[in-house]
Amino acid sequence: MTGSPVDRLADALAKLPGIGRKTALRLAFSLVDDGRLSEELAAVLSETARNVHECPLCRNLTLDPVCEVCGNGSRSRSICVVHTSADMRSIEDTGLFRGTYFVLHGSLAPLDGVGPAELGIPALLERVAGVQAQEVILALDSTTEGEATCAYIARALESLGVPVTRLARGLPPGALVEYADALTLSQALKGRSRV
Ligand code: ZN
């Protein structure tokens, strides 16, 4: 392998979302300077990479047999559909939703080969029917792909007769759930409307 350890570290870090070249270099220098932190991070990362998997119920990423939310017997029978585990965390952090989740890991993108099966939509329908969900909340991004995914899932759920809602239009067009601030997300969740 070529390049100095700092450059190689910076190259790897720069692949993370939101990390530009300058930040990557700064982080790489701190890691090289702090051997103990590097070892701690290396251990956590390799443990995570080895053991992380999708929760069989909701597809959230977890190290446990089922994720913490699905394993909590006191959650309600509402299901909140999100794009990513990070979105799930953002909604959990509002403290307003007491049901369980379903993580799509993406948006419909037929041209890139991402169809309903890749998003786990058949498993979602099975789960909604299986738990007799009280409500399905579509907490998807206000992007073109998010809107298309939202419309597809709403249609797919129609025959099950479950109330389907979506976040209020409080999220500005193009907004990503993960980055919405807690107040905006709370208002969007409270003001959700029937699809
Ligand atoms: Zn789960």
How far is the centre of ligand 1, averaged over its atoms, from the C-alpha of 60 (Å)?
5
Q: Are 185 and 94 in contact (CB under 8 A)?
A: yes
Instruction: Please work out, in degrees rounded to the nearest 5, the angle formed at the alpha carbon of residue 86 by the alpha carbons of 29 and 71.
Output: 120
- Residue 60 tokens read as 């959230």
Q: Rounded to an integer, what distance in angstroms lies between the CA atom of residue 59 and that of residue 181?
A: 24
How far is the centre of ligand 1, averaged over its atoms, from the C-alpha of 62 (Å)?
8
How far is the centre of ligand 1, averaged over its atoms, from the C-alpha of 65 (Å)?
9
Q: Are 114 and 91 in contact (CB under 8 A)?
A: no
Q: What is the pLDDT at residue 134?
A: 97
Q: What is the pLDDT at residue 21?
A: 95
How far is the centre of ligand 1, averaged over its atoms, from the C-alpha of 70 (Å)?
4
H-helix or E-strand spanning residue 101: strand 100-103
Q: What is the pLDDT at residue 101?
A: 98
Provide the 8-state DSSP code for 80: E
- Tell me the pTM: 0.83
Q: Kindly report, residue by residue over 71-88, the tens digit of the pLDDT.
A: 999 999 999 999 999 999
User: Coil, helix or strand for 112?
Assistant: helix
Q: Rounded to an integer, what distance in angstroms lies between the CA atom of residue 150 and that of residue 141?
A: 9
Among 1-15, 69-83, 133-147, the range scoring the smallest mean pLDDT is 1-15
